[in-house]
Chains A and B, each alone.
Chain A
Amino acid sequence: MKTGTKSKPSSTGFLEYATNKLKLYKNIIEIKNNIQDRIFCTQTWLGKLEEKKDVYIETRYRMLSKESVTAEFKCNITLLRHFKNIIEKIENNLFDVELYDNIAELRDEKFNDINTLWNFIGVSKYCVIKKKDEKFEQYEPSKGEETMLILHERLNENKDIYILDEPEKSLGNSYINDVIVPIINNLASMKKTVIIATHNANIAVRTLPYTSVYKEYNGEYLTFIGNPFIDQLINIEDKEDVRNWKEVSLKCLEGGELAFDERGEIYGRI
């Protein structure tokens, strides 16, 4: 080549242009396929309700779709829909001049937070029950059932110490008797520590607590500690102040000896 002359270009640039565009097309199709409508569900056993009804928590992972709702996403759903729309435009305009405007749109800083497929996965959780045909059906537990499920779930977790504050709230006595009391007794037999604040006789008495703490208000709060085995409750600030465990339990948990006897007589007559 002579000095000062222009050399013939080694290519027209078409091949590079075409291969880059094909690469772009392939990437766009891959992104589009990855974010297309799809649903995946997992079920985790939550607990058992009365009548042996097993309840599960279903976690639904759903790719952004027309049915998606804001609450399923961490990102702004309108922005996600806009992003998806641009991807579709890029695919459709691959051979049109608008393509470059579409690509430029994607570079807008408002899309900076959309940087992973996870942004497009909406997550929602709800309760389901298994039907006879083994399929799951959405189920809305009542307040009482919610308490049952939460309590059942917590008590089935393997912990060293369990602290329950009035677990009887919203629960029927039969459920306490048939489900909760046996679980608590079982935990105790496994040398677990269970601390319960309760007004329920079934829980307070039938679990045979190693230690009972009784609070009494008499102008000021007094604290007594004892158990059913020594049949005593002793004031922690005055060792001479001793109550009878059975009498206190009858009064606080059963409504007093008279009420307890009357119920006994009524039940006895049935």
Chain B
Amino acid sequence: MEEYKKINAILYMKENGESVIKLEFVDIIEVNLSKNEQSGLKKAFSKMLENALKEKFVFEFTCNENYKNQLIIDVAKCYIDELNIELEKLYSEESFKEIYKE
């Protein structure tokens, strides 16, 4: 099975109490779990795709040790797992392979 680069996806709580997943690419991307904000998510997806086209990766979920909300931890982990499944599906798409080769 192909080995992919591991990118940390760290769940932590901001000082204002918002739960955020930090995706540690060269340019860090933050997905705010406390806001229902489509544009932020689109931007995150866009940067994920841009990075995937440079080098295939999957996320490795970790949680900041101070973070205590178990429900959010479970949901975030589930979300990252689902993203990893979709990333792997994307890598097998012909359209991705064509552009990735370039």
Q: Tell me the A residues contacting B by CB distance below 8 Å.
A: 8, 11-15, 17-19, 21-23, 25-26, 94-97
Contacts and interface: CB of A to CB of B under 8 A. Distances in A.
B79 interface: yes
A23 B45 contact: no
B47 A95 contact: yes
Q: What 10 pairs across the A-B complex have the smallest Cβ distances?
A: A15-B86, A95-B50, A22-B95, A17-B45, A18-B49, A14-B86, A95-B46, A12-B82, A18-B90, A14-B45
A26 B99 contact: yes
30 contacts: A8-B78, A13-B41, A13-B45, A14-B83, A14-B86, A14-B87, A15-B89, A15-B90, A17-B42, A17-B45, A17-B49, A18-B45, A18-B48, A18-B49, A18-B86, A18-B90, A18-B96, A19-B96, A21-B46, A21-B49, A22-B95, A22-B96, A22-B99, A25-B99, A26-B95, A95-B46, A95-B49, A95-B50, A96-B46, A97-B43
B65 interface: no
Given A14-B87, A95-B46, A95-B49, A22 B93 contact: yes
A248 B52 CA distance: 94
A262 to B, nearest CB: 85
Interface string B74-102: 00001100110011011001011011000
A147 B22 CA distance: 79
Interface in B37-65: 39, 41-43, 45-50, 52
A265 B98 CA distance: 87
Contact of B90 (A8, A19, A94, A96): A19
A23 B87 CA distance: 16
Chief secondary structure at chain B's binding surface:
helix
A26 B98 contact: yes
A9 to B, nearest CB: 8
Nearest to B90: A18
Contacts of A11: 82, 86
Nearest to B100: A22
Contacts of A96: 46
Contacts of A95: 46-47, 49-50
A22 B43 CA distance: 15
Contact of A19 (B43, B83, B93, B98): B93
Contacts of A8: 78
A17 B45 CA distance: 7
B61 to A, nearest CB: 13
Given A13-B45, A19-B90, A22-B49, 11 more contacts: A12-B82, A13-B41, A14-B48, A18-B48, A18-B90, A19-B95, A22-B93, A26-B95, A95-B46, A95-B49, A97-B39
A11 to B, nearest CB: 6
